[in-house]
Amino acid sequence: MTVTSYSSALLNGNDVHSRKKLPYVVDGFGTRAIHVGSEANAATGAVIPPISLSTTYKQDGVGNHKGFEYSRSGNPNRNALETALASLEAGGGHALAFSSGSAATATIVQSIGPNAHVVSVNDVYGGTFRYFKRVASETQGLESTFVDFENADDDTILASFKDNTKLIWIESPTNPTLRLVDIHRIVSLARSHVAKPLVVVDNTFLSPFYQSPLLLGADIVVHSVTKYINGHSDVVMGAAILPPHHVRLAEKLRFLQNAHGAVPSPYDSWLAQRGLKTLHLRMKAHGVNALKVAKALQRSPYVEEVLYPGLGSHPRNALAYRSLSPHAKKFVDDLRSIRDEDGVSPDSEGGFPYGGMVSFRIRGGAEEADRFLTALRLFTLAESLGGVESLAELPAQMTHGSIPEKERSLLGIGDNLIRLSVGVEEGDDLVRDIEQALQVALRGENHV
């Protein structure tokens, strides 16, 4: 195989042109996931990178070292993971790993300095909202404005920008109601404004597999690596990824990464890299299962509304398709071109896999929701998302319980809204589990 002899930089697909003696190769997503940052160890030939636990590195003379001095500033496992992340997030050139997604967010916000203004999507992740309102407001005088980026018109959005607006913060889809933001449109508005704010996209929910915000013009992508990228619910980690042209900004974030010291351990870096090698396989399976579950919920008389932008009937289904990364679009198009024996596409209603998160409103209220959640056999009642195992939760009382009730109801987070992180178990088993739990919740019947 030729790829293993190429440098990470070549596989990265960003600076290939500078390496003239090597052929131009940009490998596909799955190939990059497995090979970038994972070259065989030069000393031993080990195919899997060893875990480098040493905190310090021998120097052959003062300042004469092999690229590593002290593990907070740089570590072989973290470097390898960052190389892989820069490659996987299409359009990426620089990646920085942090000890959590929240640490990545905090570092980016700190990088904009004092007395700045941020415009954020209105139902942003609660921890990000908390950082804007209760930490950065006090420590750096940050002012924040929250806007419904999905429905607001251009004039309303532009009117929210100020001379000191340094950041636009997007999540798409949002959590837990899976609203979609047209990232390209928001980037165009940001570019047209005199303040020239940077556009940050938290891409945690779709992962680098389904959505590529940097290709849509975003300046920074943030991930809670804790979720799909690691994918096995055993690492807390975050990342920031920037396009190649943001050299100075990447340097600034690198300086802060070292200065704050909120870095992941070598072991966690190694685990996350092992996890991301199967990101493409997992994300396809999550998407196929989530679509199956969403359609089963849609058929159920016990469900009021299903929120899954991949459903053909979802009002933003066309935007969801338009926002797919090039690799996800290929996956979806290939899937759609498959015909069964009757010549009918498997999803003649226009649906397609769009990540693994599905939310729905059960008929009834908190009581029915609670009965449903405790009747589930395969979905575990727990917070978080993005692992191989299916999880279910009640946002109003769990992940979003700290949001005041009035704001929660404005955002559509009622007592009957249930969020599912659909895993990669057998899809039919998951559907059966959902159907029996709905029966128990609404009719008191237990078929298990």
Ligand X SMILES: Cc1ncc(COP(=O)(O)O)c(C=O)c1O
Residue ranges in contact with ligand X by CB under 6 A: 100-102, 125, 127, 171, 175, 202, 204-205, 224, 226, 236, 238
- List Cβ neighbours of 49 (8 Å cut-off, separation of 6 or more): 37, 38, 41, 76, 77, 80, 270, 273
Token digits of residue 377: 């056999």
Smallest distance, ligand X to C-beta of residue 87, A? 21
Smallest distance, ligand X to C-beta of residue 205, A? 6
Residue type, 16: V
Smallest distance, ligand X to C-beta of residue 42, A? 33
d(CA 105, CA 118): 13
Smallest distance, ligand X to C-beta of residue 176, A? 10
Q: Closer CB to ligand X, residue 221 or residue 332?
A: 221
Nearest residue to ligand X, by Cβ distance, number only: 101
Smallest distance, ligand X to C-beta of residue 174, A? 9
Token digits of residue 366: 């908190």
Q: Closer CB to ligand X, residue 224 or residue 390?
A: 224
Q: Closer CB to ligand X, residue 100 or residue 107?
A: 100
Residue 162 falls in the annotated catalytic set = no
Segment holding 240, helix H or strand E: strand 238-242
CA distances from 250 to 74, 142, 148, 176 (A): 15, 21, 29, 31
Residue 125 falls in the annotated catalytic set = yes
Of the residues 123, 166, 179, 202, which is catalytic?
202
Segment holding 224, helix H or strand E: strand 220-224
Q: Closer CB to ligand X, residue 34 or residue 398?
A: 398
d(CA 75, CA 57): 10
Measure the N-to-C terminal CA separation of the chain; round to a whole number of Å. Answer: 50
Q: Closer CB to ligand X, residue 205 or residue 270?
A: 205
Region for residue 196 given its phi and psi (left: phi exceeds 0; alpha: psi -120 to 50; beta: otherwise): left
Q: Closer CB to ligand X, residue 100 or residue 289?
A: 100
Of the residues 27, 32, 125, 361, which is catalytic?
125
Smallest distance, ligand X to C-beta of residue 222, A? 7
Smallest distance, ligand X to C-beta of residue 388, A? 17
Residue 134 falls in the annotated catalytic set = no
Contact predicate 16/26, CB 8 Å: yes
Q: Closer CB to ligand X, residue 219 or residue 268?
A: 268
Residue 277 falls in the annotated catalytic set = no
- List Cβ neighbours of 151 (8 Å cut-off, separation of 6 or more): none
Q: Residue 234: which of 245, 226, 246 has the closest Cα?
A: 226
Of the residues 57, 72, 182, 432, which is catalytic?
72
Q: From the CA atom positions of the chain, what is the Rg in Å?
A: 22
DSSP letters spanning 414-439: -TTEEEEE--SS-HHHHHHHHHHHHH
Query: Could you give the angle at the alpha carbon of 144 between the alpha carbons of 138 and 145, nearest 5°?
Result: 155
Of the residues 227, 284, 295, 419, which is catalytic?
227
The residues annotated as belonging to the active site are: 72, 125, 202, 227
